[in-house]
Amino acid sequence: MAVRPSAITVPVAGGARVGAAAAVARFTRKKPLGAAGGALMLVMLLTAVFAELLQTHDPIATNAAYTLGPPNAEHWLGTDHLGRDIYSRIVHGARVSLIVGVASTLLGSVLGGIIGLLSGYAGGTTDLVTQRILDILQGLPLLVLALVMSAALGPAVHNVIIAISIPIIPRAARVIRSSVLSIREMQYVEAARALGVRHLRIAFRHILPNTIGPFIVLCTAQLGSAILVEATLSFLGLGVPEPYPSWGRMLSVSAAEYAQKAPHLVLFPGIAISLAVFGSNLLGDALRDTLDPRLRGS
């Protein structure tokens, strides 16, 4: 039977983009606070990527003739005790915070997710022993464990990433394990076992893709904590070393000695840290409500 050309459906090349735009618009309409948090994180991402274009001065160049200068037309946010431009240092500090926050969150979440996946699927003694080890790690607050690890490894960017990622591992493992415990009882998993599919293939091919939703929410929620812990470690001198511009180190240098004389040294880095953590938390809460079927109606 002949088919008329008008009856043939031709895929539209921009259909995926239209669908993504519609999904973003729907998310913005239903979760305006989450969209605001996503906008803050997008601004932070663009600032980190285009830091060289956005800077007005060299972030590590000193100017002894203009120390502790207030905000003006040349130095938009003023200068610090060494005459360095605060605006340029905050712009480059976004790159440091984002690199450390994203890298440590992904490293800890991926390792913890694999542990939780294997522990939850294996069950029995393996799950029992693994969970007791994770209980020990989770018994220490994230900041305390990060302080211990950072002090042991020394101040360096890669050491800070490792120090922050280790406390995230038990939290990620618990979240993924709770999802695996319910997914492994599904009928399609039982069917795969009956067909003789290998356990590792079942775990990574059939169960792991169904934990992507909780994994995304976990990463978004932990990103704010990772940024805050990095700032705290840098504030205590255990984080990102000089000459890298770090928001926490900017506070540590100026908070005690120059807070009353030049409050802009404390105000602007503190606002940057607050907005980054606030935006990450808002976006994480909105994604949790959207991706969790039990909370979609809220």
Quick: pLDDT tens for 2-42.
445 444 444 545 555 667 778 778 878 888 888 899 999 99
What residues does each domain of the chain span?
49-57+85-295
Whether 70 shows a pLDDT value over 90: the answer reads no
pLDDT, mean of residues 225-245:
84
Mean pLDDT of 199-225: 86
What are the distances in angstroms from CA 277 to CA 85, 166, 220, 282?
Answer: 23, 20, 10, 9
Contact present, 165 and 145 (Cβ < 8 Å)? no
- Residue 230: CB atoms within 10 A of its CB come to 30
Asked if 234 and 240 count as a contact pair (C-beta separation under 8 A), the reply is yes
What pLDDT, on a 0 to 100 scale, did the predictor assign at position 116?
92
What's the rounded Cα separation, in Å, for the pair 32 and 40? 12
User: Residues 185-211: what's their mean pLDDT?
Assistant: 86
Residue 48: is its pLDDT beyond 60?
Answer: yes
The CATH class for the domain spanning 49-57+85-295 reads mainly alpha
pLDDT 10s digits, 110-160: 999 999 999 999 888 888 999 999 888 888 777 788 888 888 888 788 888
In this prediction the pTM is: 0.83
Q: Are 250 and 265 in contact (CB under 8 A)?
A: yes
- What's the angle, vertex CA 157, arms to CA 156 and CA 162, rounded to 5? 95
What is the rounded average pLDDT for all residues in the chain?
84
Two tokens at 286? 């909105």
Q: Look at the alpha carbons of 122, 125, 128, 133 in this order and tell me if their dihedral is positive or negative.
A: negative
Please report where in the chains the tokens 């802009």 appear, as a residue.
264
Residue 5: per-residue pLDDT: 45
Looking at residue 29, what is its pLDDT?
87
CB atoms within 10 A of CB 243: 10
What pLDDT score was predicted for residue 88? 93
**Portion of the chain with pLDDT greater than 90, in percent:** 23
- Please give the C-alpha separations between residue 16 and each of 9, 25, 42, in angstroms, as whole numbers: 16, 14, 21
In this structure, the number of other CB atoms found within 10 A of the CB of residue 263 comes to: 13
